[in-house]
């Protein structure tokens, strides 16, 4: 289905067609109905590519950092990507609302691939981080464009299913991604982990872009906010720059960097205040809490996950392939959790689901922290990370659906952008703080270097569990 005239968009559906849809079986298999099939297959392929890259690079990064003599900058290799994605998300949010998701998605794929090539050819850790920053900008464009596509193409009754499909798209990459990455690192070299992904991206682009052709701005979209966009981009650049400065200042261990640290923290807070919906940073009830919960959950989970392969390979002596298998276990847990969340007979309310998810992340972080001790079997960390993944699988679809439900059609791109902005800003900041402490303690007290970051993640998960009921707009 490549002809845009064959696509029936949500705002074009006649309410009288509901009975016909139900009788024809669209209600049961709607994602693959001819109106949605092209977008579904293409979007799921793109999510699978993104998943493969994320898990493969996380598996390879300990080897990369040691090969390029850049272990102190380990956290920045992840945090820099997230910081740059903030700019891409802001650009894609307004772009998607005004012109549809196809343009930002196309540009996102190009920048994403360019960053991977730069990283794959990098002669130093600094050059690799530059590539990761370019890649992050492209990833930000892609992620928001996909959210806009969901809001524009699918009716509300299919939102939960498509987000569950996105989570399921992580299953195969979760199984083969770390294993392939580990084998590439061990037999061909780490550079091929980066250089192989752009080839796959071309296939995913070929699937999804034709399906979005002709999908323009939603009916009733206003272009009055054109003047607002440059200001939002400026705030996004400021947030990304502040996060990068925070990473840099944290690596400098002398008193003169204290003003720089304070300035960077103030910059992140000031820019986030302008970029996120009003009330997000103070966790006001309703949509602001939904968006804040995404940032809290992501920073707790990914603030731990980026250190898992390094911990297992450097401290417990596992091979890159074996260390990456733990990421596989967590990703499979995530997919199973999302499948469980999508069951139509779900007995739990959204606040209960969020609290369950946060508690499972807390269990997972605790299990990984325990595996630092040589006397504790690595299996404890693996089981814990499966639990954390399950918790994220329950959390993410819940927050995504709530965001779309609480957003009018003309603001779905903006609020989807805010959801993922909060994700990236919180996680980049936590990685900056955790990475700075990690670099300071690594030589003198390696165990405490890991534990300090894991303790921060555990506190965030606990905070999220406490705040979960605030997603309801009223008491």
| Per-domain residue ranges of the chain | 36-215+229-471
Total count of residues recorded for the chain: 475
The residues near 323 (Cβ < 8 Å, ≥ 6 apart) are 59, 62, 178, 182, 308, 309, 312, 313
pTM score of the predicted model:
0.72
In angstroms, the CA 59 to CA 313 distance is 10
Find the Cα–Cα–Cα–Cα dihedral 132, 82, 89, 339, rounded to 10°: 110
What SS3 state is found at 318? coil
CB atoms within 10 A of CB 188: 12
Of 392, 409, 399, 410, the C-alpha closest to 286 is 399
pLDDT on residue 2: 35
Beta strands in 228-376 (DSSP E): none
pLDDT on residue 4: 32
What SS3 state is found at 306? coil
Contact 472, 349 (CB under 8 A): no
pLDDT along the chain (475 residues), means of 10: 31 31 41 74 80 80 87 82 86 74 85 92 92 91 81 76 75 74 80 83 72 58 49 87 82 69 87 88 89 94 89 84 82 84 81 94 95 91 94 89 77 73 85 80 84 92 94 69
Q: How far is CA 104 from the centre of its chain?
A: 17
pLDDT on residue 389: 93
Per CATH, the number for 36-215+229-471 is: 1.20.1250.20
């Amino acid at each position: 289905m490549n002809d845009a005239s064959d696509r029936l968009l949500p705002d074009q559906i006649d309410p009288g067609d509901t009975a016909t849809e139900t009788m024809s079986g669209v209600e049961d298999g709607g994602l693959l109905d001819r109106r949605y099939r092209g977008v579904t297959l293409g979007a799921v392929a793109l999510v699978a590519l993104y998943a493969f890259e994320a898990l493969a690079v996380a598996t390879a990064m300990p080897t990369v950092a040691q090969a390029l003599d850049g272990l102190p900058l380990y956290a920045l290799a992840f945090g820099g990507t997230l910081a740059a994605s903030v700019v891409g998300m802001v650009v894609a949010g307004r772009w998607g609302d005004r012109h549809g998701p196809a343009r930002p998605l196309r540009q996102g794929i190009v920048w994403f691939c360019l960053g991977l090539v730069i990283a794959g050819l990098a002669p130093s850790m600094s050059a690799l981080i530059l590539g990761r920053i370019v890649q992050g900008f492209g990833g930000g464009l892609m992620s928001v464009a996909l959210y806009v596509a969901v809001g524009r193409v699918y009716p509300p009754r299919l939102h939960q299913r498509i987000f569950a499909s996105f989570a399921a798209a992580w299953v195969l990459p979760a199984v083969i991604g770390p294993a392939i990455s580990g084998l590439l690192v061990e037999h061909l070299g780490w550079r091929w982990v980066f250089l192989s992904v752009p080839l796959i991206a071309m296939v995913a682009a070929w699937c999804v872009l034709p399906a979005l052709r002709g999908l323009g701005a939603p009916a009733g979209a206003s272009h009055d906010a054109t003047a607002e966009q440059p200001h939002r981009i400026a705030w996004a650049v400021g947030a990304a720059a502040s996060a990068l400065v925070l990473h840099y200042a944290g690596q400098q261990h002398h008193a003169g960097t204290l003003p720089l640290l304070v300035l960077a923290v103030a910059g992140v807070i000031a820019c986030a205040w302008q970029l996120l919906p009003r009330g997000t940073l103070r966790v006001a009830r309703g949509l602001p809490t939904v968006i804040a919960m995404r940032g809290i959950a992501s920073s707790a989970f990914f603030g731990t996950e980026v250190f898992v392969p390094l911990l297992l390979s450097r401290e417990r002596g596992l091979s890159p392939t074996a260390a990456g298998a733990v990421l596989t276990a967590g990703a499979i847990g995530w997919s199973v959790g999302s499948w469980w969340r999508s069951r139509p007979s779900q007995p739990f309310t959204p606040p209960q689901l969020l609290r369950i998810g946060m508690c499972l992340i807390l269990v997972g972080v605790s299990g990984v922290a325990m595996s630092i001790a040589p006397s504790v079997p690595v299996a404890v960390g693996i089981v814990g990370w499966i639990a954390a993944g399950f918790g994220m699988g329950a959390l993410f679809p819940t927050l995504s659906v709530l965001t779309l439900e609480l957003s009018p059609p003309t603001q779905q791109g903006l609020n989807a952008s805010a959801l993922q902005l909060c994700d990236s800003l919180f996680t980049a900041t936590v990685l900056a703080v955790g990475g700075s402490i990690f670099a300071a303690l690594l030589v003198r007290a390696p165990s405490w270097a890991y534990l300090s970051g894991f303790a921060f993640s555990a506190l965030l998960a606990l905070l999220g569990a406490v705040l979960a009921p605030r997603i309801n707009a009223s008491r």
